[in-house]
Structure 1
Amino acid sequence: MRRSLMALSLLLAACAPQVTQAPEARPFLRSEAFYPSATGLEWVYVPEGEPITSPPYRVRVEGPALYEGQEALRFRAFGRGEDRVYYRQVGAFGVRLLGFQDPSARVVFTPPLLEYPPEGLLAPGYRWGGRVEVKVELLSPSGREPLAQGRLDYAMEVLEEREVRLPAGTFRVYRIRQVYQDQAGQTAYEVWFAPRVGEVRTREGRILVERNFQ
């Protein structure tokens, strides 16, 4: 049975056994960027519908890095056995995703996938998208092993702007629909993005319960 490239790459990390580390004590920070990306910023999430006391998922900006020879920022997502690093570029062009890696697999998008557009364009009704080549490799002590490669089309649309109340506070958010299409089919997600805060609902259906900046 064929799986979509996006689903396959995300599934690999979920299958890899990991040890969840205890959170480190970190100071409260300040960030004024439309797309927050300063080193040390951290977001804490729980799955929608679960108590806020449930074991959390965390996303932390770990700082500059190189990915496939390109300068990027490391965004580490971890919790409940997951541990994955996303490599992004953030600038006047918006937010680009170069790829991601976990202990079992490495995924590369060529050209980088545009997750968010320039901040001045983000508004209800705005659409963007593109086509990327996706390369998925398995990682082992002996090196990398090619697993899958192909094209991935993506289309994003800002559905609306509205106010939402979450455990982390009340936010004005953009509801964004993400659609990914490859030879195996189509997959759709919805995220809620709050300017200068970040994603308050992720495409996995996790809601923000805490952050270490304002």
Structure 2
Amino acid sequence: MPAPRFPRAAVLAGALCAALGSCAPQATTPGTVQSSTPLTRASFYPQETGLAWAYLPEGEVAGGAPYVVQNLGPTLFGGEAVSATRMTGRGADQTWYRVTDAQGVKLLGIRKPGVTVRLQPAWLEYPAPDAWRAGLTWQGQSQVSLVADDGTVKGSGTLSYSYLVQERRTVSTPGGRFDVWVVTRQISDTVGGLFPATQQLWFTPFVGEVRTPEGLLLTERNFAPRSGGQP
């Protein structure tokens, strides 16, 4: 779904500082009681709690308020153990609920203010780590339910998706230089076009999405490359 364009909010500066730890020191103030999660090197499909990425729309003038994506960690979704990832910024507020296993990355649902999108069976977003190659394809179909906060079902239908790994190439973004897999994603649904029909994304192992399906480019992240110069 295209990232919504909303007016820039001053509070994003604080959100980015908290997520990416990149703010300059401020004057000493009384401390507060807080908790934090030590950051680790990311796995092939980065899912560790506390990892964060900042993005800007492709083609936009640099320096704008970013969208911030952060791994929130384990939670429950529909009674299943999942990992939650949230995107905020420019008025956006969206949370994805995923499971990562030997088969790849599966999306069980999406949460937006006032509504939850449930997918059954889960949508396979990424294949098994050792399956990546140019020309790889996968596809599937999920039943979609749109559920309001009061439990009312606002809509239902079918979503069909297909993926094609086009190539592997090197790209540069404000966030660095990356060796990416270029993937084209096609989607159709019967619930009013939840997602644009065709998108292109760039994925780098141990880094994540360098270009999201919404056309956002990576500008910063709060974890280091793997040893040996690998992403």
* TM-score (normalised: structure 2): 0.80
Q: Secondary structure at the match of 2:152?
A: strand
Which residue in 2 is equivalent to 1:115?
Answer: 125
Structure with the greater alpha carbon radius of gyration: 2
Q: Report 1:97-116 matches (<5 A).
A: 97-116=107-126
Is 1:145 the counterpart of 2:152? The answer is: yes
Is 1:167 the counterpart of 2:174? The answer is: yes
Q: Report 1:25-104 matches (<5 A).
A: 29-104=39-114
Within the candidate set 156, 169, 178, 2:185 is matched to 178
Mapped to 2, the partners of 1:203 and 1:108 lie a distance apart of 19
1:31, distance to aligned residue in structure 2 (A): 1.7
Structure with the bigger RCO (C-alpha within 8 Å, sep 6+) is 1
Structure 1's 207 and 178: CA in aligned 2 closer, same or farther, altered over 3 A?
Answer: same
Q: Which contiguous aligned blocks of 4+ residues in structure 1 show a shift greater than 6 angstroms?
A: none
Mapped to 2, the partners of 1:48 and 1:96 lie a distance apart of 26
Task: In structure 1, give the amino acid aligned to 2:172.
Answer: R
Mapped to 1, the partners of 2:201 and 2:72 lie a distance apart of 22
Checking the alignment, whether the CA contact within 8 Å between 2:20 and 2:221 is kept in structure 1 is: no
1:80, distance to aligned residue in structure 2 (A): 0.3
Q: Secondary structure at the match of 1:120?
A: helix
How big is the alpha-carbon RMSD for the aligned residues of Structure 1 and Structure 2?
A: 2.3
Mapped to 2, the partners of 1:137 and 1:15 lie a distance apart of 24
In structure 1, runs of 5+ residues without a counterpart are 1-9
Q: Secondary structure at the match of 1:144?
A: coil
Checking the alignment, whether the CA contact within 8 Å between 1:16 and 1:103 is kept in structure 2 is: no
- Count of paired positions: 200
Checking the alignment, whether the CA contact within 8 Å between 1:95 and 1:116 is kept in structure 2 is: yes
In structure 2, runs of 5+ residues without a counterpart are 22-37, 225-231
Task: In structure 2, give the amino acid aligned to 1:58.
Answer: V
Q: Secondary structure at the match of 2:124?
A: strand
Checking the alignment, whether the CA contact within 8 Å between 1:16 and 1:104 is kept in structure 2 is: no
Mapped to 1, the partners of 2:197 and 2:49 lie a distance apart of 31
* TM-score (normalised: structure 1): 0.86
Structure with more strand by fraction: 1
Q: What CA deviation, in whole Å up to 9, does each residue of 1:117-142 have, x standing for no partner?
A: 00100111000111110001233xxx
Structure 1's 26 and 173: CA in aligned 2 closer, same or farther, altered over 3 A?
Answer: closer
Deviates more, 1:45-54 or 1:181-190: 181-190
